[in-house]
Amino acid sequence: MSSLYGNSIKISIFGQSHSDSIGVVIDGIPAGEPFDAEKLKAFTARRAPSNNSLGTPRKEADEFEVLSGVANGKFCGAPFAAVIKNTNVKPGDYSEFSERPRPGHADYTANVKYHGANDFSGGGHFSGRLTAPLCIAGGICLQLLENRGIYIGAHHERIGSVTDLRFDPVNVSKADFDALVRGRVTVIDESKLSKMEALVEECRSEKDSVGGVIECAVIGLPAGLGDPIFDGMENRIAQIVFGIPGVKGIEFGNGFDCAKIRGSENNDSFAYKDGKVVTETNNHGGILGGITSGMPLVFRAALKPTPSIFKEQNTVDLTEKEDCTLVIKGRHDPCIAVRALPCMEAAAAIAVYDALLDHNKTNI
């Protein structure tokens, strides 16, 4: 049902880019868990556009207000709700897109779906801005997971033609997350930071944009989370990750590369290590049969280039029913993969925490 996700916790996201507010309701957080508002602010600030030039010049404070669900610094069992006011709205920027849909955007498809009644302003409910409430929900789940020793980290495995190293899928640790080099992009290999940043700037100056791949790892997970067939960890994570605008692909473990090799290369041998069952390699990305194996859960998601580019593009005029051209004005990130990084962590956190609660109910 469109903007809801989850089994044990239910996330309901609302808002349009230029409506009064955007926000999220989270139903099902166990009562008594502590809520760290400052830590959540710090997390959501990572998604907010920075004052540097890689992010959009549009100023979004993204400061959330908690409406309900917390009492005495703890989640109180009632649904948690938080909103972010849309204070810096310029609806005038978007008026023409209702009749001249932007290539690569939802303008046309939403227009057909909603018979023209959708809110075109700022992309409406399809705006990347809706990832802000996703980050509120995800930031909360991250806190709750960290209380159980489960950590999530992500980096830019690729921006356009520039690639980073990958996480070591067997040994990736919290120390590796702490050692990530964070500039405008986030990388393992420090030498790639400036290359990626330069590429993004080049695209901006050319009125163009560029795509990227984000790699995300979850560590500290117990074995046994996830359910068979339609509710495995891959299904759950994929369902929420495709909720981040611009994601066009996802792969787990060695992903598409597993199709190229033999079973004898792809299978990960089991072994005992310090009394615990591990696998010696981790092509399976921490998931077998949809269920966590206890090894790091690793996935990568591909994000397309920002569809809002400032070059002239061909489109149609839906009123005149004829082809036309369009030049987009305004303010847009030249690379949505940049700010999508914390969103990816947020999405993974929600999926994992929900699976953790789901698993609980059968432990009777």
Q: What part of residues 95-154 is at the interface with its own copies (CB under 8 A)?
A: 101, 103-106, 108-110, 112-121, 124-126, 130, 148
| Count of beta carbons in the 10 Å neighbourhood of residue 363 | 6
Residue 170, both tokens: 């067997």
Tracing tokens 């495709």 back to the chain, one arrives at 242
Q: Look at strands 181-182 and 186-187 and give their pairing.
A: antiparallel
Tracing tokens 């992500």 back to the chain, one arrives at 154
194 binds its own copies (CB under 8 A): no
Closest approach of its own copies to the CB of residue 187, in Å: 15
Within 328-347, which residues bind its own copies (CB under 8 A)?
A: 334, 337
Closest approach of its own copies to the CB of residue 178, in Å: 26
Binds its own copies by CB under 8 A, chosen from 51, 263, 274, 319: 263
Within 162-191, which residues bind its own copies (CB under 8 A)?
A: none
DSSP state of 124: G
**Based on CB atoms, which residue is closest to its own copies, 153 or 334?**
334
Which of 344, 362, 293 is CA-nearest to residue 139?
344
Closest approach of its own copies to the CB of residue 51, in Å: 24
Within 201-260, which residues bind its own copies (CB under 8 A)?
A: 203, 208-213, 223-232, 234-236, 238-240, 242-243, 245, 247-260
52 binds its own copies (CB under 8 A): no
How far, in Å, CA of 254 to CA of 282, rounded? 8
Give the residues across from 248 on adjacent strands.
Answer: none
**Based on CB atoms, which residue is closest to its own copies, 179 or 202?**
202
From 42-50, 188-196, 298-306, 338-346, give the range in contact with its own copies by CB under 8 A: 298-306
Provide the phi-psi class of 85: left if phi over 0, else alpha when psi is between -120 and 50, else beta: beta
| Half-sphere exposure for 58 (CA within 13 Å, toward CB) | 22
DSSP state of 89: -
Binds its own copies by CB under 8 A, chosen from 292, 339, 345, 352: 292
**Based on CB atoms, which residue is closest to its own copies, 116 or 179?**
116
How far, in Å, CA of 155 to CA of 214, rounded? 6
From 45-53, 168-176, 177-185, 304-312, give the range in contact with its own copies by CB under 8 A: 304-312
291 binds its own copies (CB under 8 A): yes
Q: How many residues interact with its own copies (rule CB under 8 A)? A: 163
How far, in Å, CA of 144 to CA of 300, rounded? 23
Residue 51, both tokens: 């004052």
